[in-house]
Amino acid sequence: MAFELGSKNLGKAQTFYEQAFGWTFTDGSNGPGDPFGFANAPEGSNIPWGTVWNTNLGGDREGNPAEYRDVPDEYLAFVLLVDDLKETCRLVEEAGGTITLPPMTNDDGTFDAAHIRDVNGNMIGLCSMNVSSDSTPHPNPVPQEMIGQTPLPDALLDQSND
């Protein structure tokens, strides 16, 4: 399990989570306009990793803002790691839940992700690791060399919308 933080004011959220919980934040974007990064809980924590999204930037990497129509401006959700994302999404709908962010693959192809809402309206992230060319699952979507190394860029943080 992991977590996902979305905020229109990621700089403000980053300061809060750094001060209150000791989290660190690293860049996972592919340049300006890519609203993605990683949140890292302190070493020894039972929360292994998380992702952060600047929801103020809107749209997705392919320029399809409709894909994000149901993503709230501010949220903190847990992320379930699943073996087969598309099958899990099918089962979610069959059980009465809804898909609010359809399955998508990250830019380097290491994982697929989606957002769902359960029957009570709770948002949950889903993530499945993709199999690498040597047929072994990618161990972690966060490259170890990035953890605690590359701070979130100012362009990602300076989207204040108090």
In the predicted model, what is the mean pLDDT of the chain? 71
Angstrom distance (rounded) from CA 15 to CA 161 = 15
> pLDDT > 70: what percent of the chain?
59
In a domain, 94, yes or no: yes
The upper half-sphere exposure of residue 37, i.e. CA atoms within 13 Å in the direction of its Cβ, equals 32
Angstrom distance (rounded) from CA 35 to CA 32 = 8
What is the pLDDT confidence band of residue 138, given thresholds at 50, 70 and 90?
very low
Q: Which residue type is seen at 36?
A: F
- CA distances, 161 to each of 12, 17, 26, 60, 145 (Å): 10, 18, 21, 19, 32
Q: 66 vs 25, which has greater pLDDT?
A: 25
What is the pLDDT confidence band of residue 139, given thresholds at 50, 70 and 90?
very low
Contact 85, 14 (CB under 8 A): no
What is the pLDDT confidence band of residue 32, given thresholds at 50, 70 and 90?
low
Say which CATH number the domain at 71 has.
Answer: 3.10.180.10
In a domain, 57, yes or no: yes
Contact 38, 142 (CB under 8 A): yes
For the segment 80-110, what is each residue's pLDDT rounded down to a tens digit? 888 889 999 999 999 999 998 889 887 777 7
pTM above 0.85, yes or no: no
pLDDT at position 150 is: 46
Q: In what order do the strands lie in the sheet with 111-117?
A: 24-27, 36-40, 50-54, 2-7, 75-81, 123-129, 111-117, 98-105
**Residue whose structure tokens are 């060399």:** 145
Strands 50-54 and 2-7, by their bridges, are parallel
User: For the chain, how many structural domains are there in total?
Assistant: 1
In a domain, 67, yes or no: yes
In a domain, 162, yes or no: no
For the segment 49-88, what is each residue's pLDDT rounded down to a tens digit? 677 766 665 544 445 455 555 667 777 788 888 888 999 9
In a domain, 72, yes or no: yes
Structural domain of residue 138, as residue ranges? Answer: 2-157
